[in-house]
Structure 1
Amino acid sequence: DLLRRAMGKKKVEEMAKQRASFVAGCAETHDIPEAQANRIFDLLEKFAGYGFNKSHAAAYAVVAYQTAWLKAHHPVEFLSAMCTNDMGDTSKLSVLIGEAKAMGIDVLPPDINESRVNFAPARGGEVIRYGLAAIKGVGEAAVEAMLEARDEGESFTSLNDLCHRVDLRAVNRKVLEALIKAGACDGFGHTRASLVAQIERTLSRASSDAADKARGQETLFGMLDADQPEADDIPAALRNMAEWPNAEKLAHEKELLGFYVSGHPLEPFLGLIDSYATHSVSQLAELPGRTIVRVAGLVSEVRRGISRKTDKPYCIATVEDLQAEFGVLCVNENYQKFNELLEVNQPLMFVGEVNNTEDVPKIFPQDIFPIEDAPKRFTKQVHLRFKVEGMPKDTLEGVRELAEAHHGSVPLYLCLRQPDGTSVFVEADERYNVAPGSEFQAAANDRFGPDTYYVKVDTDLPEPQRRFHKNVNRDSQ
């Protein structure tokens, strides 16, 4: 049975050990010559590499053909079903949603008036609508209650209308809060912050009205309020609240849906990342081991602990951009230097060494810092680009004012583009050195036009450092 187990587990070393026993057994039991026994064992060894019986392989081939046909001819329905099947696994769900986008199919956020229980085709089968049951904290019982009320009447027009028409035993405060934070109630015309603030008051009123209705009663105030606009019942202070900061709004989406819907926290930094990062996250997996990179991303997960081997603290973070993710390991001195920076939802830039020995790339950092610090660290020159032809007379005065308003230590150059396509570079006096960054870029482009601002970036990277023992990660977990 040892040979069978070695084949099943695909253990090459164990298979090699069993060869001698197999050959000896063939000779002793069946008088099979050694050469022939070795040929038979070679067949077994090859099959152990990756072998299917024919019926098993045929069954898989049929399923592969069927799913490929569905994806090719009914992609919206196929991907809707796939998303529903994996809606409890956010990592798989993100892959499927990325696949949909690559195929030109929009995956729309949940909507209280269009979503079904699961992911489903919508708008004539052209898009996929996120299922309400896929929102964390919203169970199928609550969804069924809302769909029953919606299908019996018209679309929900407001939070008050929703609370008055559904079974509040199934649709409670927790469910409503999850729906609002996930964006499913955006169609009601109020900010998410305002809708959350209205929940308690609206639920209380709906519960009271439902109790009166169940007793066959209607209050005097209820009859008087029947003809009043619904909004009059909600104070203006609750109706007109400002929206949450974008980072908070997106954090709620990530928590409840598993991905960002109305944007991504890295979007404000994409210009800086494009200028100052040497690689994108998706490129890391293709790099040779020990390559030094400068890469940026958003911290999505942080785990801290104490190493069983060294009894020292460690930190393991997962960092993502809009397409892929990588891991970051901090131990020893790096833990002391970078631990406080590694917090969830922090946009950071990393300089370090790539390790691709596992499924997800990992970086051993030499430096970690906020993305907005990249310009002052790596900008060699700032260029302001102008077309000489038609350049206003007050341009140089405007440059002087801009440089004085953003004084710093980086040399400023004027790039004067000639009508024949050549460019002349003029270095400003060091008195007009500037502080590069998003503020200066926005000011320059607003004043002189898009693409005026350009930076020359230092792309030199440090040498790989001698690292800790390669098994520290395995021992620390």
Structure 2
Amino acid sequence: MLREQRGKKRYVKTIAVASGKGGVGKTNMVANLAVAMRKLGKDVLVMDADLGLSSIDVLLQLAPSHTIQHVLSGEMRLRDIIVDGPHGIKILPAGSGVQELTALNEFQRLRILEEFEAFESDVEVLLIDTSPGISENVAFFCIAAQEIIIITSPEPTALTDAYALIKVLSTRYQEKEFFILVNSAKHAEEGLEIFRRLSLAAGKFLNISLDYLGHIPCDADVQRAVKAQKAFVDVFPQSPAAQQIMQIASALAGFTLAQADILRKAMGKKIPEVMEKQRKDFIVGCVKNGIKELLANRIFDLIEYFSGYGFNKSHSTAYALISYRTAYLKANYPVEFMTALLTSERDNTDKIVEYINEAGRMGLKVLPPDINESSALFEVVDSKTIRFGLLAVKNVGAGAIESILEARRNSPFVSLEDLCSRIDLRLVNKKVLESLIKCGALDSFNMPRAQMVANLGTILEVSSKTQKEQARGQMSFFDQGLELNGFATSLSGSFTQVKEWPEPQLLAFEKEMLGFYVSGHPLARYAGHLKRFTSTSTANLQQHSDGEEIKLVSLIAKIKQTLTRAKQEKMAILKLEDLDGVLEALVFPDAYQKVSRYLLPNTVVLVKGRLNLKEDVPKLIVSDLYPVEQLYKQITGLNINLSGIPESLFESLKTLLASSRGTIPIYLHVNTPARAKTQLVVGEGFYISPSESLIQEIEGLLGENRVSLII
């Protein structure tokens, strides 16, 4: 039998393709699978075993002069009737209109098997296109093959007939392995659902497990190709159906989809080391499937060559179209475009921050969340304004927002008590309300955020009790707006008075809940330090050269403590943030030993290090780091440019320097009468002890651009 060819000199993979009924596209799948395999370098023979109908001849517009009928009659050998199909695939045509062929006897079947011996060395893959339904011929070719593919479709009759075929082959002929291919599925989910239903039935009643080969989507290009009597994988290679067929065919090289994706990325980025490893994996897979190493290398060379233009052209076209459409929307409908963009990334904090910054550069304002103004999603307020959506607030879910919006329908909330009394506290819990307070969404209640959080427990307790009583149908004086012994319905008089959180705490909560700062930026108060101590900003990193040393006053937004792989030494990975963006900084063991005591989240520091621009995203290799409070202690000298300064200011400068004596030298830069620049060092009597106030006074006297620090 065909399975016995496993022991021959050359491995021939025999695959029988069957279906429980006609009309599911079985022959079309066989023809396209054959062409796809041939494109991958396989030598493919298709046997049209739909004896008596010759379906594949019609599909591929072939007109064979001899058929399998001539072989069975003894007039010709099997090799002599083979015809060439598209891309060099070989086809064994069936006889058309010969009823005797639909029911071969045992002798005729054996004759076919013997004939395969004559040319098995010329074939790598034998695809057998069986006739539809259940017959002795179908059973014979299926049990003779090494693998069986069952083609079905979402039609109920196709599904039941496919199960019937599997049942016959498993119970009568002890076949236990079947691949399922779902044709004409509307989408991937439908294909999986059809397979799931078939697999459940097979497992429950036949005690066998099925393997999912994939789905072929409904595709108008398939019908166009059929009418043209061509393989759709050939005439419409970019169609969804063709892409699916190619994925199925690629499995013959022993490559999983995950491996194929690694190969795709390696080819896209032209990474030599990864490419070489993928070549080895690819060849190993091919050899396992009976493909010679020389041919496997040739196939990989073709794939690699194709990546030089095919990937680029197809993707550049797709991205060009997307870029044009998005650019048009951004240019002509800026506020609507950015609103949609923010909504689409509402669960991605980093993207939200990026898009809010971009909106600012476009002249658009993103208003913070507001309990009385915000909806679930980001919304357009006017041509220049967007309102933040409540769904983008951390810990706030759709159910809670729905309850809030429903309660707000008739009138806005006027206080925290009013809010808690009107919403469904089963959906809007304490954590949700704390998040809304911390992000500033309840600021319209004119109560310090710290005080709202401090009193939230009491308000929730009273509101919850009231809601439970109302649910039981009980009434109180308060429900009717009455007072008892002068006790008002409002709890505001009994609130615990709490001072507002310090500004750094307020800002930290905003960042935690929203991903960005609403009330300001922690670095805003250090504007003077940024100008004096920073050599660049995150927005200008690409303007520097790789390995250049930079200084950056920034906020430590995130810290990851870790160990080196080699020696298991402590190091850290920092996420630094300035007014323009973020930067990843690496603190290796040597630097870590010096600065570890300063590595605290949400602290402002001066970072010194070398810029690494070798990767897609710039990184900083930290050499030193100081807290902002120690900045002025790091000054080793002060440059003052006196060129063009009136001499009348010299005495005032002298007085300033004398008022803050210390050990740090002053370097004066002046122009001589010959217009040459000269540097002078003041006497030790005028050395200074640097401080922020002293620097500010010197800048106020001479001008900001006249002073520079040596660190």
TM value normalised by structure 2: 0.52
1:130 alignment partner in structure 2: 388
Deviation at 1:85, TM superposition (A): 1.0
Q: Distance in 2 between matches of 1:90 and 1:266?
A: 20
Whole-Å separation in 2 of the counterparts to 1:292 and 1:157: 54
The residue matched to 2:375 in structure 1 has which SS?
coil
Q: Conserved in 1, the CA contact under 8 Å of 2:656 and 2:698?
A: no
Alignment partner of 1:208 out of 458, 465, 475? 465
Q: Give 1:342's aligned amino acid.
A: L
Shift of 1:309: 2.0
- 1:70 and 1:407, CA in 2 relative to 1: closer, same or farther beyond 3 A? same
**Is the CA contact 2:437–2:452 (under 8 Å) kept in the aligned structure 1?**
yes
The amino acid across from 1:249 in the alignment is L
Structure 2, gaps ≥5 residues long: 1-39, 41-252, 284-297, 670-678
Superposition pairs of residues 49-198 of structure 1, within 5 angstroms: 49=308, 51-52=310-311, 60-122=319-381, 124-151=382-409, 153-198=410-455
Q: What SS is found at the alignment partner of 2:475?
A: coil
Return the alpha-carbon distance in structure 2 between the equivalents of residues 243 and 453 of structure 1. Answer: 38
Partner residue in 2 for 1:318: 575
Task: Tell me the C-alpha RMSD between the 2 structures.
Answer: 4.1
Worse-matched range after superposition: 319-328 or 74-83: 319-328
Distance in 2 (alpha carbons) for counterparts of 1:129 and 1:226: 45
SS in 2 for 1:278: coil
Matched residue type, 1:208:
K
Partner SS for 1:224: coil
Contact 1:273–1:371 (8 Å) recurs in 2? no
1:173-199, Cα deviation, whole Å (9 max, x unpaired) = 111100000110111111111111121
Q: Contact 1:107/1:128 (CA < 8 Å) preserved in 2? A: yes
Please tell me whether the aligned partners of residues 384 and 452 of structure 1 are also in contact (alpha carbons under 8 angstroms): no
Q: Which amino acid aligns with 2:464?
A: S
Q: Please identify the structure whose Cα radius of gyration is greater.
A: 2
Question: In 2 relative to 1, CA 176–7 (structure 1 residues): closer, same or farther, beyond 3 Å?
Answer: closer
Partner of 2:512: 255
Q: Write out aligned runs for 1:224-243 (5 A).
A: 224=483, 233-235=492-494, 237-238=496-497, 241-243=498-500
Aligned counterpart, 1:438:
692
**Are 1:268 and 2:525 matched, yes or no?**
yes
- Aligned partners of 2:577 and 2:583 also within 8 Å: yes
Mapped contact 1:120–1:130 kept (Cα < 8 A) = yes
Q: 1:288 to 1:426 in 2, by over 3 A?
A: closer
Equivalent pair of 1:138/1:175 in contact (CA under 8 Å): yes
> Closer, same or farther in 2 for the Cα pair 1:372/1:147, shift >3 Å?
same
Q: Is the 8 A contact 2:438 2:509 kept in 1?
A: yes
- TM-score if structure 1 supplies the norm length? 0.75
Residue of structure 2 in register with 1:365 after alignment: 622
| SS, match of residue 403 in structure 2 | helix
**Does the C-alpha gap of structure 1 residues 225 and 205 become closer, same or farther in structure 2, counting only changes over 3 Å?**
farther
Gaps of 5+ in 1: 22-37, 416-424, 460-477
CA distance in 1, matches of 2:508, 2:609: 27
Contact 1:380 1:455 in 2 (8 A): no
Instruction: After TM superposition, give the deviation of residue 129 of structure 1 in Å.
Output: 1.2
TM-fit CA distance, 1:412: 7.3
1:456 CA displacement: 2.9
Q: Count residues in correspondence.
A: 422
Say whether 1:409 aligns with 2:663: yes
For residues 435 and 328 of structure 1, what CA distance do their matches in structure 2 show? Answer: 31
Kindly state the Cα deviation for residue 251 of structure 1 after the two structures are TM-superposed: 1.0
Secondary structure class of the residue paired with 1:323: coil
2: CA distance between counterparts of 1:355 and 1:64? 30
Give the equivalent residue in structure 2 for 1:290.
547
* Superimposed CA distance per residue, residues 4-36 of structure 1 (whole angstroms, 9 cap, x where no aligned partner): 969744167558989xx9xxxxxxxxxxxxxxx
Distance 2:682 2:279 in 1: 75
Amino acid at match of 1:134: A
Mapped to 2, the partners of 1:197 and 1:450 lie a distance apart of 50
Report the 3-state secondary structure (helix = DSSP H, G, I; strand = E; otherwise coil) of the residue aligned with 2:621: strand
Partner of 1:419: none
Query: Equivalent residue of 1:211, what SS?
Result: helix
Q: 1:134, 1:257 within 8 Å by CA — same for their partners in 2?
A: yes
Q: Secondary structure at the match of 1:293?
A: strand
Question: Could you tell me how far apart the structure 2 residues matched to 1:133 and 1:110 are?
Answer: 10
> What aligned pairs does 1:41-52 form with structure 2 within 5 A after superposition?
47-49=306-308, 51-52=310-311
Alpha-carbon separation, structure 2, partners of 1:259 and 1:372: 24
Q: Return the structure number with greater relative CO, CA threshold 8 A, min gap 6.
A: 1
**Match of 2:307, as an amino acid?**
A
Q: Is the aligned partner of 1:309 residue 2:566?
A: yes
Q: CA–CA distance in 1 between the matches of 2:704 and 2:488?
A: 52
CA contact (8 A) 2:657 2:686 kept: no
Cα displacement string for residues 320-342 of structure 1 (whole angstroms, at most 9, x for unaligned residues):
21223222222332221122222
Shift in Å, 1:43: 8.7
**Contact 1:146–1:166 (CA under 8 A) maintained in structure 2:** yes
Report if the CA contact (8 A) 2:556-2:602 is conserved: yes
CA distance in 2 between partners of 1:7 and 1:212 (Å): 65
CA gap 1:60/1:228 in 2 versus in 1, 3 angstroms: farther
Task: Report the alpha carbon displacement of residue 397 of structure 1 after superposing the two structures with TM.
Answer: 9.1
Alpha-carbon separation, structure 2, partners of 1:146 and 1:195: 18
Aligned-pair CA distance for 1:371: 3.0
Map Cα deviations across residues 60-81 of structure 1 (whole Å, 9 max, x no partner).
5443333222211111111111
Counterpart Cα distance in 2 of 1:138 and 1:42: 53
